[in-house]
């Protein structure tokens, strides 16, 4: 008999070798390596190689992979005209969803699903999504495009194209760490969406676009924007406790707290906390970090016993703000990171594919007579 679980909670729908989560103990590993070690020692490019190949690269392999990725930063010829047709007041996630889909129009064989083709398409999407996002932000701001620099990493190049100047080493490192921390996270909603789409033997572009649509939702990737909105609503450090307790009394959600999986401290949040603190000090945002830490302290006293702790969105909001990202680019940056994981799961799904086709629990009536229009 089929097993019913609303929202598929607790249902195993795929096996994976990419990431492991123990929500009770607060553990996240990519291919067996603790996320803290990767955030401390790896780079986003190396982490993507790890997820796609299920092992760390040798020096020459990483150099080759990185060079290939950087050679694809430029968007295809004629693509910029599509970008210039976007409304300047459009939401970036809608623009990103549309233009990532449009990349398939410049692929001579967009439906090819052999391993080499999947990897090549994934590299194109991963390399060009930061370019699309930076170009659109400059276009809506009335600024000229800054062409990608293939001598820079994905993190450095994105910030360079966005702001028109190369980031400081601290900014670039913070951006890179955020990408590593967000790269993969088990069978979350957007990853599941990508695997469902590719299971039909669709194509890499369609799978990634479906995942972007999923991540856009405020219950998934959009939560980090909500954290920043909350921080801006609190006028000063002295107002934090009353704000939080009033919200809890009304049973309102405190953005950036709680997780569907983690009943312990999210290991990604733990790493981001120290990063956010240092960045806040370096960029003159110490008051913002102080408010964040105070919110965590108040929540710790109020709800930590219920297994409600900061999640990755909580301190990523402070980190993104200190890097200088506009609020509505928080979730699109999440997309850049998660493309690494989504594409890896698409490749993994296609290695042993089975079409997803769950059933439903029908709760409606039976044997109802059709009522003619004149008798309704």
Residues annotated as catalytic are: 259, 313
Under 8 Å between Cβ of 31 and 54: yes
Whole-angstrom distance, CA of residue 126 vs CA of residue 339: 6
| Tokens encoding 339 | 């493309």
| Residue 103 phi, psi (nearest 5) | -60, -30
Compute the CA torsion angle 369, 372, 374, 376 (nearest 10 deg).
40
For 78, residues 6+ apart whose C-beta sits below 8 A from its C-beta are 106
**Count of other CB atoms within 10 angstroms of residue 211:** 32
Residues 178, 316 contacting (CB under 8 angstroms): yes
CA 311/CA 309 separation, integer angstroms: 6
Which pair of tokens denotes residue 236?
Answer: 């000063």
The 19-22 sheet, strands edge to edge: 19-22, 27-30, 33-34
Q: For 353, left (φ over 0), alpha (ψ -120 to 50), or beta? A: beta
Helix (H) or strand (E) holding 36: helix 35-41
Please choose, from the candidates 158, 136, 171, 178, the residue with its C-alpha nearest in 3D space to the C-alpha of residue 42: 178
Supply 65's token pair: 């992979």
Contact 27, 262 (CB under 8 A): no
C-alpha R_g of the chain? 22
Residue 44 exposed, middle or buried by CB count within 10 Å (0-12, 13-18, 19+): buried
3-class DSSP state of 204 = helix
């Amino acid at each position: 008999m089929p097993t019913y679980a609303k929202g598929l909670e607790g249902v195993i729908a795929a096996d994976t070798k990419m990431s492991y989560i123990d929500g009770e103990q607060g553990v996240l590993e990519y291919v067996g390596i603790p996320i803290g070690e990767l955030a401390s020692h790896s780079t986003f490019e190396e982490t993507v190689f790890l997820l796609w190949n299920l092992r760390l690269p040798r020096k020459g392999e990483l150099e080759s992979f990185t060079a290939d990725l950087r050679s694809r930063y430029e968007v295809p010829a004629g693509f910029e005209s599509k970008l210039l047709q976007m409304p300047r007041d459009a939401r970036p996630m809608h623009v990103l969803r549309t233009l990532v889909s449009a990349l398939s129009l410049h692929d001579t064989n967009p439906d090819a699903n052999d391993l080499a083709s999947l990897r090549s398409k994934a590299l194109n999407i991963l390399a060009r999504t930061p370019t699309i996002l930076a170009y659109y932000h400059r276009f809506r701001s009335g600024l000229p495009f800054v062409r990608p620099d293939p001598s820079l990493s994905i993190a450095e190049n994105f910030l360079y194209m966005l702001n028109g100047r190369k980031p400081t080493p601290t900014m670039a490192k913070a951006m890179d760490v955020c990408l590593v921390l967000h790269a993969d996270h088990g069978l979350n909603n957007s990853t599941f969406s990508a695997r469902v789409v590719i299971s039909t033997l669709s194509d890499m572009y369609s799978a990634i676009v479906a995942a972007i649509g999923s991540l856009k939702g405020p219950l998934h990737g959009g939560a980090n924007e909500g954290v920043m909105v909350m921080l801006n609503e609190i006028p000063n450090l002295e107002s934090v406790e009353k704000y939080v307790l009033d919200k809890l009394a009304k049973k309102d959600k405190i953005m950036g707290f709680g997780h569907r999986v983690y009943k312990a401290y999210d290991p990604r949040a733990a790493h981001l906390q120290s990063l956010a603190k240092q960045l806040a000090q370096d960029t003159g945002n110490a008051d913002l970090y102080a408010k964040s830490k105070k919110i965590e302290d108040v929540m710790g006293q109020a709800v930590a016993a219920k297994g409600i702790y900061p999640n990755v969105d909580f301190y990523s909001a402070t980190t993104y703000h200190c890097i200088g990202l506009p609020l509505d680019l928080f979730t699109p940056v999440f997309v850049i990171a998660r493309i690494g994981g989504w594409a890896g799961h698409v490749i993994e799904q296609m290695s042993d594919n089975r079409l997803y086709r769950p059933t439903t629990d029908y709760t409606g009536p039976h044997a109802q007579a059709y009522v003619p229009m004149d008798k309704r």
